[in-house]
Structure 1
Amino acid sequence: MRSTVRLAALAALFLPAAAQAQSANPAGSGPIVAALGWLQGTLLGNVATAVAVMAVAAVGFMMLTGRMNWRFGATVIIGCFILFGAASIVAGIQSAAAVG
């Protein structure tokens, strides 16, 4: 009988539990949320988009003329895709986690 209880308790530890997302921000987190919103706006705003377009164009030109290693150039371009696609990437991970 005791081994059955222990086995059930051990099995309960390893069963996946659904994570419940909070719908509201915790108390006192207003300045932190505002700062993160500003950072997101800065990283994904018009200025950042223009800088990324110029960087990709410059890297692409340097790669085509043989002045830059293709691996480093591809790293820069993939980094821009990850930066601007971060919201979609996180949404996909969250939806995949919610299904499982």
Structure 2
Amino acid sequence: MTRKTVPSFLAALFALPARPAFAQATTDPAGSGPIVAALAWLQGTLLGNVATAVAVMAVAAVGFMMLTGRMNWRFGATVIIGVFILFGAGAIVSGIQQAAAG
């Protein structure tokens, strides 16, 4: 491709209409009941009282280290971002699904 054809190729590529993928199953496959139940338990554990208590302790530890002047900023940022990702996982996934569907 020459330099003159690249912009027109990209314009033609982006002008193509997007088609939805219909390969996703809308129901759980047969025999997946125990797996779905185990994953639901894991989700409840990771987003329930256990995760909330661990996240509160982690943020408190970061705050205490900041208070005493022994803060490793990379560790603190990792803890805070991890807490946001853990509790925002449902919203993140639904946003990705909506972006992919529409």
Identify whether the pair has TM-score above 0.5, normalized to the shorter chain: yes
Residue in structure 2 matched with residue 19 of structure 1 by the alignment = 21
76-85 or 46-55, larger mean C-alpha shift: 46-55
Residue identity opposite 1:22 in structure 2: A
2:57 maps to which of 43, 54, 57: 54
TM-score (norm. length: structure 2) = 0.75
- The alpha-carbon deviation at position 95 of structure 1 amounts to 0.6
How many residue pairs get aligned? The number is 87
Where in structure 1 do 4 or more consecutive aligned residues deviate above 4 Å? none
What is the identity percentage for the equivalent residue pairs of Structure 1 and Structure 2?
Answer: 80
- The alpha-carbon deviation at position 71 of structure 1 amounts to 1.4
Residue in structure 2 matched with residue 76 of structure 1 by the alignment = 79
1:34 aligns to what SS in structure 2? helix
- Residue 37 (structure 2) pairs with residue 34 (structure 1): yes
Q: Relative contact order (C-alpha < 8 Å, sep 6+): which is higher?
A: 2
Whole-angstrom CA distance in 1 between matches of 2:84 and 2:47: 11
TM-score (norm. length: structure 1) = 0.77
Structure 2 unaligned residues grouped into runs of 5+: 1-16
- Residue 63 (structure 2) pairs with residue 63 (structure 1): no
Residue identity opposite 2:85 in structure 1: I
Structure 1 unaligned residues grouped into runs of 5+: 1-14
78-87 or 51-60, larger mean C-alpha shift: 51-60
Whole-angstrom CA distance in 2 between matches of 1:46 and 1:36: 17
